[in-house]
Structure 1
């Protein structure tokens, strides 16, 4: 097993010594000082996690922390971030439960929820967990996304907008023609009738579009 190596700054890491292609030394380094502790076992597990999640990017909000920075952000005195074996991963592009289960499956032993801060903490152990779970969130499986893409299940506002816009144009054009043809009360009655007719047509078009979307 490789021995952890401490660098005064992430820029000091020799290019040939970095073997984790999906992460850079800057991502793993301390956010406050640039200091970096390279823990090969933890980084190997991080790469394995990315692969387990279908190679989807992992957004790290915190990795290694220097003693100074850990104290500044209120981290625990014996935080695993200080050992370079802990990572906080944003959940914007990952389901929290899927992320946690995948992490435990590739060698991480501890996982914690931070729903307000929208990240999941993982580290190499010892086994433990803490924090309130995230609010329920549906899990979208890859095969479902392929069969029912989000675009196919959303309303089609463009159709409604087009129908309404077309109706408005028809009303304006028709009203002008009626006023040119008739005078007085007869013209007003004819315009009102035209407006009601076009409104009924727009409503029918919208209803048809809604039913079409529901049938998908």
Structure 2
């Protein structure tokens, strides 16, 4: 026996045991003007199936409409919204082409396209469509968010090669300074032997930085980051 279609004077009157659609609430589906709700289980099952198939939230702009509210907003005289079998869904977080295909797969038959207002109407039928189709998205929504890449400035590889570069530049600078000071006279001559030691310190730092860079590359490769 099919589920009974019931109408409630206000969505707050819907018993908890009757509501089995986890991604929606009675307030989302109720009439925006009066708070009334026509609980149509088949329509809500189809809406939940669409939500499950797409794997992302559905923003319901309009669900059930009471006859008086439907007249107030200029709805069609036989609008499926008044039967509780129609939903206007925002395309703010959906690719319209993907959304339409999924909606047809789960059983929706009626489609209205409203690209200027950025929503799509779906209902249980009869099969028909109206409105101007949405233009193709320049960049379709990805099926899932890819894992975040390392920030370049924080990359261990970059840090290692940066350290090597600084140390190498330092070693080269010491050599130049040593040559200049070696030609100097007077009090600076005693400093020359110490500069030779400092040059080797910078060379050691350069080799250490290169080693860090190589290790980081290998470690990233093992962990699948590259």
Q: Is the structural similarity TM-score above 0.5?
A: yes
Q: Is structure 2 residue 47 aligned with structure 1 residue 46?
A: yes
Query: Offset of 1:151 from its aligned partner?
Result: 10
Distance 2:51 2:11 in 1: 22
Runs of 4+ displaced beyond 4 Å: 149-152
Query: Offset of 1:135 from its aligned partner?
Result: 2.2
In the alignment, what sits opposite 1:156?
A: none
Query: Offset of 1:150 from its aligned partner?
Result: 10
Larger Rg: 2
Change (3 A) 1:150 1:136: farther
Q: Secondary structure at the match of 1:31?
A: coil
Change (3 A) 1:146 1:2: same
Query: Offset of 1:30 from its aligned partner?
Result: 0.2
Q: Which runs of 5+ in 2 are unaligned?
A: 152-226
Distance 1:104 1:142 in 2: 19
In the alignment, what sits opposite 2:33?
A: 32
In the alignment, what sits opposite 1:72?
A: 72
In the alignment, what sits opposite 2:110?
A: 110
Q: Which runs of 5+ in 1 are unaligned?
A: 153-216
What is the aligned residue count? 149
Q: Deviations over 1:19-58 (max 9, x none)?
A: 111100000000000000000000000000001102x010
In the alignment, what sits opposite 2:63?
A: 63
Q: Is structure 2 residue 122 aligned with structure 1 residue 139?
A: no
Distance 2:105 2:135 in 1: 23
Distance 2:111 2:5 in 1: 22
Distance 1:130 1:34 in 2: 28
Q: What TM-score do you get using the length of structure 1 for normalisation?
A: 0.65
Distance 1:150 1:114 in 2: 37
Q: Is structure 2 residue 86 aligned with structure 1 residue 86?
A: yes
Change (3 A) 1:25 1:136: same
Native 8 Å contact 2:94 2:141 kept in 1: no
